[in-house]
Amino acid sequence: MAIIAVVSNKGGTGKTTLAMSLAAGLLRNDSLMLIDADPQQSAYQWRLVGEDRPGLPPVVAVAHGLESTVKALSDSHQHLIIDCPPSIKSEQSARALRLADIALVPVQPSPMDLWATAPIARVIAELRAENPHLRGFIVMSQIEPRTTLSRLMPEAVAELDLPVASSMLRRRSIHRLCALEGRTIFQSGRRGADAVAEIEQLIEEIFRP
């Protein structure tokens, strides 16, 4: 059983999108629950939009009692993915990180996002002193290979005190379309193929190293 916290210190980095696609990818082989711990409840909304669509990951929204929810679900699910609010200072993010085996930190190619990520790297480093099993990874998100900022990203994130996943997620409109239509990139045929390949690579790297 693995508990995966998706955290960042800003909104719009791609946490929910990563949580949704990761959940959809892992669900093909494993049982899981996506726990929406963000009061904005974007993942939960997405699930409601796709209510009638089979194969969407199950989502539960949790405002209080993250620990008891995780405890109640842990025996019956192989993975619990916790989508966190956009701040490391939020109590939900802190709780999720304390519970997690894996912390994924999406970072967009922007200096503001990089600056905001440094405190998360420090928090994860501190938590690792208590919980050496916690593995944290920066996931480069919404990359546009032709832009200067995106090209500089690998060098910039290497400065942060956290391992960087070599698999990255490019900016692809299919992610937004899937959110709008309540489906997953895995249910998008050829249009989703490149996005699927990126998530599969990330799953291989992080879950089957």
Ligand X SMILES: Nc1ncnc2c1ncn2[C@@H]1O[C@H](COP(=O)(O)OP(=O)(O)O)[C@@H](O)[C@H]1O
User: Per DSSP, what are the bridge partners of residue 102?
Assistant: 4, 135
Question: For the window 152-171, what string marks contact with Mg ion as x by the rule CB under 5 A?
Answer: --------------------
The tokens describing 151, both together, are: 């090209």
Please identify, using beta-carbon distances, which residue of 1 and 177 lies nearer to ligand X. Answer: 177
In Å, how far are 72, 134, 186, 189, 201 from 193, measured between CA atoms?
A: 35, 31, 8, 7, 12
CB of 22 to Mg ion, least distance (A): 13
16 binds Mg ion (CB under 5 A): yes
Question: Which lies closer to ligand X via its Cβ, residue 16 or residue 69?
Answer: 16
Q: Is residue 168 a contact residue for ligand X (CB under 6 A)?
A: no
Residues 114-143 that bind ligand X (CB under 6 A): 141-142
Closest CB to ligand X among residues 62, 74: 62
Q: Which of the stretches 5-13, 28-36, 50-58, 125-133 binds ligand X when contact is defined by CB under 6 A? A: 5-13
Q: Is the Cβ of residue 46 or residue 95 nearer to ligand X in the bound state?
A: 46
179 binds, among ligand X, Mg ion, none (CB under 5 to 8 A by kind): ligand X
Could you tell me how many residues of this chain bind Mg ion (CB under 5 A)? Answer: 3
One-letter-per-residue 3-state SS of the chain:
CEEEEECCCCCCCCHHHHHHHHHHHHHCCCCEEEEECCCCCHHHHHHHHCCCCCCCCCEEECCCCHHHHHHHHHCCCCEEEEECCCCCCCHHHHHHHHHCCEEEEEECCCHHHHHHHHHHHHHHHHHHHHCCCCEEEEEECCECCCCHHHHHHHHHHCCCCCCECCCCCECCHHHHHHHHHCCCHHHCHHHHHHHHHHHHHHHHHHHCC
Strand order in the sheet with 2-6: 59-61, 32-36, 79-83, 2-6, 102-107, 135-140
Residues within window 37-56 making contact with Mg ion, judged by CB under 5 A: 42
Site for Mg ion contains 95 (CB under 5 A): no
Residues 69 to 88 in contact with ligand X, rule: CB under 6 A: 86
Tell whether residue 15 is a contact of Mg ion (CB under 5 A).
Answer: yes
Assess 183 for contact with ligand X (CB under 6 A). Answer: no
Q: Looking at beta carbons only, is 40 or 68 nearer to Mg ion?
A: 40
Residue ranges binding ligand X (CB under 6 A):
8, 11-17, 42, 86, 141-142, 169, 171-172, 175-176, 179
Residue ranges binding Mg ion (CB under 5 A):
15-16, 42
